[in-house]
Amino acid sequence: MIDMRALREDPEPARASQRARGADVELVDRILEADTKRRELLQEFEQLRSQQKEVSRSVGRASKEERPAILAEAKELAARVKNAEAASNEAGEEADKLARMLPNLILPGVPTGGEEDFVVLRHEGPDPRDFAAEGFEPKDHLEIGEKLDAIDVERGAKISGSRFYYLKGIGARLELAMMTMALDQAVAAGFTPMMTPTLVTPQVMGGTGFLNEHSDEIYYLPADDLYLVGTSEVALAGYHMGEILDLSDGPKHYLGWSTCYRREAGAAGRDTRGIIRVHQFNKAEMFSFCRPEDAEEEHKKFLAWEEEMLAKMELPYRVIDTAAGDLGTSAARKFDCEAWLPTQQRYMEVTSTSNCTTFQARRLGIRERRDGQMFPVATLNGTLATTRWLVAILENHQREDGSVRVPEAMRPYLGGIDVLEPR
């Protein structure tokens, strides 16, 4: 949720943010109108209640002759107070509903536009391989994975439907190795590892900003009124819900390891082959609670930690500054790292890190006490490893005979294996 006081004082930054996102600019004015109505009705209710209390106190001081008229007035005021309270509550709910529809305000420098309007900040890692010069046509990750007996999408679809799969043998070991590498790196950087719940309440899911435009991506269990998370960011953000934090020693860092679920609504026909866009996957997610003035620097650190992991994977990748229209509801700025896919001759997102400023913390009631006052904290998140990385690893490190070279940093996590051999 946005800062209503700041919105009242200067609504133009919110309007500019909405324009940059390609979103409804008039929503800002509707929020302000609803907020004005709420405050006016609240003031009316409080005035009537004060009047009611004064009349009630006067009953005991009234003479026998005056008392019937005062009691009648008190009764009338009680009815008016009840109606005013109901109107005030209704206006408050409407104002809150509208305010929760407004996405986070983007930060200065975020590119304007939609999905294709990102800005490439730089290219990193080794140069993409020239397979033609090496004398062979690269195979895609599914063909490689099937020959390694590492990926089985056919049986995944038989058991659960499309976009499900099995990782088996060296495929399962490869994912565990990658996730454990991420865990070790995070712990070395001071993160607390967390195995997080994958089912959360509507309060937590809505508090993180995922029940707006992303709601059709989420699996919902109506019998239990719970949501399956699409990222451990949700459970990590809710970990300190309603709490007052002590950030005097710096940010609180958590590394969430969880299975994630996404409906992939609207993704029909996109990346249907293999395990690029699936309904279930594993992910190691960094999360930070910090002071708002530290959030920008914290965001740079998150990106650096992601790139540290990608360097260990020896992958060619680029870093992009995501455009406003492609940001989630809670993100004020997001950087993605995209790995090169040789068989598709394109870059594929493998990490993202978002600065959510105080947006999620306001909705979840997470604050810090400083100098005797309460302030909302800032939250940030970032991917440190996920199942999709296997796609880039298999394709970029393949050999002509179908084997795959294991990146050097991963070998200790695979018992020293340096090459994955077809079976």
Is residue 175 annotated as involved in ligand binding? no
Is residue 215 annotated as involved in ligand binding? no
Is residue 120 annotated as involved in ligand binding? no
Within 13 Å, how many C-alpha atoms sit on residue 148's CB side? Answer: 31
User: CA-CA distances (angstroms) from residue 201 to 255, 287, 388?
Assistant: 21, 19, 27
Catalytic site includes residue 333: no
Residue in the structure block whose two tokens are 């990750």:
141
* Among 21, 38, 163, 262, the one annotated catalytic: 262
Catalytic site includes residue 388: yes
Is residue 44 annotated as involved in ligand binding? no
Closest CA to 325 of 18, 101, 14: 18
Is residue 129 annotated as involved in ligand binding? no
312's CB contacts (< 8 A; 6+ apart) are: 181, 407, 409, 410
Q: How far apart are CA 15 and CA 28, in angstroms?
A: 6
Is residue 278 annotated as involved in ligand binding? yes
Is residue 187 annotated as involved in ligand binding? no
* Among 39, 67, 277, 405, the one annotated catalytic: 277
Is residue 61 annotated as involved in ligand binding? no
Catalytic site includes residue 262: yes
Q: How far apart are CA 130 and CA 135, in angstroms?
A: 9
Within 10 Å of residue 70's Cβ, how many Cβ atoms? 17
3-state secondary structure of 59: helix
- Type of residue found at 244: I
* Among 85, 349, 399, 411, the one annotated catalytic: 349
Catalytic site includes residue 129: no
Is residue 350 annotated as involved in ligand binding? yes
* Among 21, 352, 362, 395, the one annotated catalytic: 352
269's CB contacts (< 8 A; 6+ apart) are: none
Is residue 85 annotated as involved in ligand binding? no
* Among 21, 38, 367, 388, the one annotated catalytic: 388
Tokens of 207: 């508090």
* Helix ranges restricted to H, 60-167: 67-101, 131-134, 141-147, 153-160
Strand partners, 401: none
Antiparallel, parallel or unpaired: β 419-420 and 367-370: unpaired
Is residue 217 annotated as involved in ligand binding? no
User: Residues annotated as binding site?
Assistant: 231-233, 262-264, 278, 285, 349-352, 383
User: Residues annotated as binding site for ATP?
Assistant: 262-264, 278, 349-352
User: Residues annotated as binding site for L-serine?
Assistant: 231-233, 285, 383
Catalytic residues: 262, 277, 349, 352, 388
